Amino acid sequence: MTTPDPPPARELLRTEGIRKTFPGVVALDGVDFDLRAGEVHVLLGENGAGKSTLIKVLSGAYRADAGRVLREGRQVRISDAEAAEKLGIATIHQEFNLVPQLSIAENIFLGRQPRRLGLVDRKKMEADARVLLERVGVTAHPRTPVGKLGIAGRQMVEIAKALSLRTRVLIMDEPTAVLTSEEVTRLFAIVRRLRAEGVGIVFITHHLEEIPAIGDRVTVLRDGRSVGQVPADTPQEELVRLMVGRSIEQQYPRETVKAQQAAASAAPLLRVTGLRKQGVFEDISFEVRAGEVVGIAGLVGAGRTEVVRAVFGADGYDAGRVEVAGKRLPGGDVWASHTAGLGLVPEDRKGQGLLPDASVADNLALVTMREASRGGLVDRGGLRKEAARIADRLGVRMAGLDQHVRTLSGGNQQKVVIGKWLLANSRVLILDEPTRGIDVGAKVEIYQLINELTASGHAVLMISSDLPEVLGMSDRVLVMSQGRIAGELTAREATQDAVMALAVGTSAPGTSEMEDSPRGH
């Protein structure tokens, strides 16, 4: 006798035909979505597919132009964040909504502090906060200022804050983007516990390998439409096809053999010799030739970012030399590096690579504004024309050059960071974690751009914690371990085992933070 399937869990939330437009852009075009009690429903799609717009409609930040939202079968109107909270809907955004100077307890109950005789009852507030913190596995004292917590700790405070609202629908926007493997494991344990308690969780991620580990169902958005709903164990190839509307035959479109042959006869564009910074890195020497991509691999803490920042002049060093096209650069001088033809796309694009509240045009012109000035006046018309040319070349998806760059998707923000250095005609481009936090379609666009740059005689030095990315896009791989270059591998020699053997060096087993997807710094 066959055991019947259990009845589906009750429906917590449903959207039908949600439409949202902005000037010149249809962000959502008839999106259907549903969430059941006790499930993790993954929302998947490229940057710009409409994921963020949908969760802003559900959280009350935006009002839909058409369609309806149902909460447990009843149509509701989510006019603002307070209305969402009353419906038991809480959202944890990528940028946390916390006040660093206030304590954990004050952040959890901000605006809702328990009172006694007209005064804030701190004893009760801290006791209630302690219960919530225990529920999410945080051991910090409720009086600890949030600013003293790491990223993972702040995220757990956001979850505790959501639970204090008696949340039944929890929306998590890219919660693992900046977490280490260990922190991701702890987060998933909390998510599973909440799922077991009947909370419905909308989970947004770009890391496809996370989906079968934590999800139950997947809804895929493409160009503002819901194009499919599939089980969480659907093969990655099918998920990619749904996301981008085509199969990607080759994830890493680099012809390393041809690139190596072309670079073999080229003169070095970048030469680093004996670079040393006490206690950080030692005896760093390498070359990057025109037409090639040199990858730098290694474990977290190996010194990769520190080295490229010193090469670029963002940080100083104690000894050694850096040359671009045979010309020695002074240490710690970013302007000299830029003038010589070096460009750096930093790992923290929002904090170090962009002015979020400035326009796309102004961000693209950041590096070249000084050269475009005559007699103290900036040729804004000329800069705008060049910015439009670069934005068109890179395919930046935007409403226009005046759009604030913070409102772009992650992949388009990264294109702007790269674009400002293309506008400066950088001969050597240093890319530190170039595809972190962006979707598979945008990744392929950036890989194709790298190929175009090297084909036109530029050179690329690339750091990535995504090992398949390093192997797939590098003509040569430098492996760093404990502040030194442990070895150099050709594309043919560079396998995952060979890279990891050099990266681990004398480190204790089990300390690796390099993965099949980016997590480390």
pLDDT in tens, 334-371: 999 989 999 999 888 877 888 888 888 888 888 776 66
Decide which of 411 and 167 is more confident: 167
Is residue 200 within 8 A of residue 58, CB to CB? The reply is: no
- Residue 151's pLDDT is what? 80
Nearest to 148 by CA among 109, 107, 114: 107
Question: What integer is the mean pLDDT of 150-167?
Answer: 85
Full domain range(s) for residue 359? 352-425
pLDDT digit string (tens) for 87-140? 999 998 877 788 989 999 999 998 888 888 888 888 999 999 999 888 888 888
Nearest to 461 by CA among 344, 328, 348, 380: 344
Q: Assign 11 a pLDDT band (cuts: 50, 70, 90).
A: very high
Q: Is the pLDDT of residue 324 over 90?
A: yes
- Residue 517's pLDDT is what? 37
Find the range with the poorest average confidence among 76-90, 101-115, 492-506.
492-506
- Residue 424's pLDDT is what? 82
pLDDT digit string (tens) for 303-323? 999 999 999 999 999 999 999
Last residue of a domain, one of 203, 227, 244: 244
- Residue 508's pLDDT is what? 34
CA distance 510 to 103: 35
367 and 333 in a single domain? The answer is: no
H/E element, 189: helix 181-196
CA distance 36 to 326: 63
Q: Is the pLDDT of residue 279 over 80?
A: yes
Last residue of a domain, one of 244, 264, 283: 244
- Residue 377's pLDDT is what? 65
Domain presence at residue 5: no
Domain presence at residue 3: no
Find the range with the poorest average confidence among 238-252, 283-297, 444-458.
238-252
206 and 216 in a single domain? The answer is: yes
- Residue 516's pLDDT is what? 40
pLDDT digit string (tens) for 370-384? 665 565 666 778 778
The pTM score is 0.60
Domain presence at residue 6: no
Q: Is the pLDDT of residue 250 over 60?
A: no
DSSP 350: I
- Residue 378's pLDDT is what? 65
pLDDT digit string (tens) for 159-203? 888 888 888 999 998 888 777 777 888 889 989 989 999 999 999
Please report, for residues 10, 13, 199, 208, 459, the alpha-carbon distance to residue 170 in angstroms, rounded to integers and kept in the order given. 16, 11, 7, 20, 45
Strand boundaries in 81-139, DSSP class E: 89-92, 115-116, 119-120
Domain presence at residue 472: yes
Question: What integer is the mean pLDDT of 471-477?
Answer: 92
- Residue 23's pLDDT is what? 76
CA distance 64 to 266: 56
Question: What integer is the mean pLDDT of 25-46?
Answer: 92
Question: What integer is the mean pLDDT of 229-255?
Answer: 77
80 and 187 in a single domain? The answer is: yes
DSSP 436: T
223 and 320 in a single domain? The answer is: no
167 and 188 in a single domain? The answer is: yes
Those residues with Cβ within 8 angstroms of residue 438's Cβ, 6 or more apart along the chain or in another chain: 47, 206, 409, 410, 411, 414, 446
Per the structure, how many domains does the chain have? 3
Domain CATH number, residue 90: 3.40.50.300
43 and 82 in a single domain? The answer is: yes
Q: Assign 390 a pLDDT band (cuts: 50, 70, 90).
A: confident
Q: What tokens does 322 get?
A: 């850096």
pLDDT digit string (tens) for 40-74? 999 998 777 889 899 999 999 999 999 999 999 99
Tally of CA atoms within 13 A in the half-sphere of 314 that contains its CB: 14
Domain presence at residue 125: yes
Strand partners, 231: 217
Per the prediction, the chain carries an average pLDDT of 85
pLDDT digit string (tens) for 449-473? 899 889 889 999 999 988 888 988 9
Domain presence at residue 278: yes
Domain presence at residue 1: no
- Residue 511's pLDDT is what? 37
